[in-house]
């Protein structure tokens, strides 16, 4: 599904954020990526979703070596992923339903396909009654659930989430986790990045930990 081999990332100013990171995500797995702020979690997710290239190393997605791919090939791989951004990236002036429908419209879905999918997804994340509400009027927890619905409306094979529970209270965070686990039960591989190690440990899923630019397993040993 996803394989990173000795990935490193150095920014233009010379600062190194990732060092020789290797990991493998199996199809249908559920994973946490933990680490303090500034350890490279967001950068690693951006590399996986092809938003930025590594400085060195090899990234394989869905069996495809991503080195040297042209723009259409990269876009095709990205369409197999869903991404929940830390800042939501919702369009506040649009309704909740239109926010969820946007990825379908971009890829040429018919009005019937949109009608068949959007209400179902809104209901699935507990927003059935909020489809016509402008995104700007939703609470923090509702906005996060809306971002999840938008990310999974195209039934991605891989879902990446960056600090999805970072700005909500504990009850809302647990509710979001139930949503992610239901998505995973449908066959989607899930990778959640969080600074909250204690939160990740509350669930029985494998997790990796970033510390000082290196990736460690849950026991604190370097990942081979």
Per-residue pLDDT of the chain (224 residues; tens, 9 = 90+): 899 999 999 988 888 999 999 999 999 999 999 999 889 999 999 999 999 999 999 999 999 999 989 999 999 999 999 999 888 899 999 999 999 999 999 889 999 999 989 999 999 889 999 999 999 999 988 998 999 999 999 999 999 999 987 777 788 888 889 889 999 999 999 999 999 988 899 998 998 999 877 887 654 444 54
Residue with structure tokens 């040429």? 108
- Give me the CATH code for the 1-80+156-224 domain, please: 3.40.50.300
Domain ranges of the chain: 1-80+156-224, 92-155
CA distances from 109 to 20, 79, 102, 183 (A): 40, 13, 10, 22
CA–CA separation, 202 and 183 (whole Å) = 18
Q: What is the pLDDT of residue 59?
A: 97
Report the DSSP beta bridge partners of residue 159: 82, 190
Q: How far is CA 164 from CA 13, 88, 160, 193, in A?
A: 29, 9, 10, 8
Alpha helices in the chain (DSSP H): 41-48, 71-78, 96-106, 111-124, 140-152, 170-185, 197-201
pLDDT of residue 55: 95
Supply the pLDDT for residue 188.
96
Check residue 48 and give its pLDDT: 97
Global confidence as pTM: 0.91
What are 82's strand-pairing partners?
159
State the pLDDT at residue 24: 94
Tokens of 72: 């259409």
Q: What is the pLDDT of residue 222?
A: 46
Give, in degrees to the nearest 5, the angle at Cα 41 between 13 and 51.
Answer: 70
Longest dimension (CA), the chain: 51
pLDDT at residue 172 in the model: 81
Q: Which residues contact residue 134 at a Cβ distance below 8 angstroms, ignoring those fewer than 6 apart? A: 92, 93, 94, 95, 96
């Amino acid at each position: 599904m996803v394989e990173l081999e000795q990935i490193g990332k150095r920014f233009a100013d010379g600062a190194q954020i990732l060092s020789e990171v290797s990991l493998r995500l199996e199809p249908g797995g559920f994973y946490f990526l933990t680490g303090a702020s500034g350890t490279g979690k967001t950068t690693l997710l951006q590399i996986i979703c092809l938003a930025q290239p590594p400085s060195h190393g090899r990234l394989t997605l869905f069996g495809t070596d991503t080195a040297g791919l042209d723009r259409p090939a990269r876009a095709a791989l990205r369409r197999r992923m869903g991404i929940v951004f830390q800042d939501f990236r919702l369009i506040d002036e649009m309704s909740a339903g239109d926010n969820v429908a946007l990825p379908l419209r971009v890829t040429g879905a018919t009005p019937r396909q949109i009608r068949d999918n959007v209400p179902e997804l809104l209901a699935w994340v507990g927003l059935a009654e909020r489809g016509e509400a402008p995104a700007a009027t939703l609470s923090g927890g509702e906005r996060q659930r809306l971002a999840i619905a938008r990310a999974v409306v195209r039934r991605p094979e891989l879902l990446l989430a960056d600090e999805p529970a970072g700005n909500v209270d504990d009850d809302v965070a647990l509710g979001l986790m139930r949503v992610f686990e239901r998505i995973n039960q449908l066959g989607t591989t899930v990778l959640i990045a969080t600074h909250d190690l204690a939160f990740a440990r509350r669930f029985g899923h494998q997790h990796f930990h970033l510390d000082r630019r290196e990736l460690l397993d849950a026991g604190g040993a370097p990942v081979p």
